[in-house]
Amino acid sequence: MIGDVILDRYLWGNATRVSPEAPVLVVDVDREELRLGGAANVAQNIRALGAKPVLIGVLGEDAAGTSLLRELAAREIETDGGLLADPGRRTTLKTRIIAHHQQVLRADEETREPVSSGVLQELLRRIEDALPQADAVLLSDYGKGVLTPGMLDRILPEILSRAIPSAVDPKEEHFLRYRGVDVITPNLAEASQAWGRKIRSPEDLLEAGFGLREKLGVRSVLITRGEHGMSLFTEEGHAHFPTRARKVYDVTGAGDTVVATIGAALAARAPLAEACVLANHAAGIVVGELGTAVATDRELIESLEDLPVG
């Protein structure tokens, strides 16, 4: 599991008055909660499904980095040999203020510049050490400087030469560098950006899905479409998976859950279509929660058991 690790901080409270200093709400904070985001959230989704994530990324030597390590340890996610502390960077910290179950403000503290050449070389060494034991490789790109063009140009050929199943949750600026992976999972906006025009109709969707697959030379493109489900494009054709969500409360982190579930399924040698069905059910579970969440193996089984017979 390679990518940008993030710490999500939630401040929960009530807003009953306006500040006398500025025309903004005053939130009386009742509690604070820390959650894993980005590649760290992908890792905890993998762990919740019963697989073992080896998380490789960068964090800062700061309080947020210490908290991130503590949260990972609490979820039994291995960090030794994978996460690298860089004193020249800040750990990505996203603080969300929630009042009356609605987000009223988000404040981001982060470093977005690409990692230094020295850090990159150390990350590549750790990836090289981890690949022989990997049943699948997942890339989680949040544009925070870990998945640089230089890294992708080095690791993708190595992953392909080893025939390790691979899945990518992409960022627009690196989209065309994910050549040859097994599955790339853009949302509708990311797919539109990469295709060069907005996807507005079913015809646009078909054109973009098959076009991106050919343009990238990937095995498959899975476009996630929020309340409209997911659409898979492969050499054999396309398939649509309608949403399994009973309610859509918050889509934060749903993409993490999708790529984690697909990765875990591919690692277990499940067919791609089956992996997508599992990912669709897992996403339907997490969007019913506020903020980043996970779908456990038990919840996934229960969701599958709810399918109509016949």
* Residue 14 pLDDT: 94
- Domain containing 169: what range? 37-92+111-305
The model's pLDDT over 93-124, given as tens digits with 9 standing for 90+, comes to 999 999 988 899 999 999 999 999 999 999 99
Contacts for 263 with CB less than 8 Å, ≥ 6 apart: 1, 42, 46, 136, 137, 138, 165, 167
- Is 182 a domain residue? yes
What residues are labeled active site?
A: 256
* Residue 251 pLDDT: 60
Across the chain, mean pLDDT equals 91
Judged by average pLDDT, the poorest of 37-46, 136-145, 168-177, 255-264 is 168-177
Does the pLDDT value for residue 250 go beyond 70? no
- Is 60 a domain residue? yes
CATH code of the domain in which 277 resides? 3.40.1190.20
* Residue 243 pLDDT: 78
- Is 85 a domain residue? yes
Q: How far apart are CA 82 and CA 146, in angstroms?
A: 13
**What are the start-end ranges of the E strands in the chain?**
2-3, 5-18, 25-38, 57-60, 83-86, 92-99, 102-109, 137-140, 166-169, 183-184, 220-224, 230-234, 237-241
CB 136 within 8 A of CB 167: yes
More reliable by pLDDT, 66 or 301: 66
Q: Which two tokens stand for residue 176?
A: 């065309």
* Residue 248 pLDDT: 55
Judged by average pLDDT, the poorest of 70-79, 100-109, 169-178, 247-256 is 247-256
Question: What is the domain count for the chain?
Answer: 1
- Is 218 a domain residue? yes
Mean pLDDT to the nearest integer, 43-59: 95
Closest CA to 245 of 218, 283, 195: 283
- Is 21 a domain residue? no
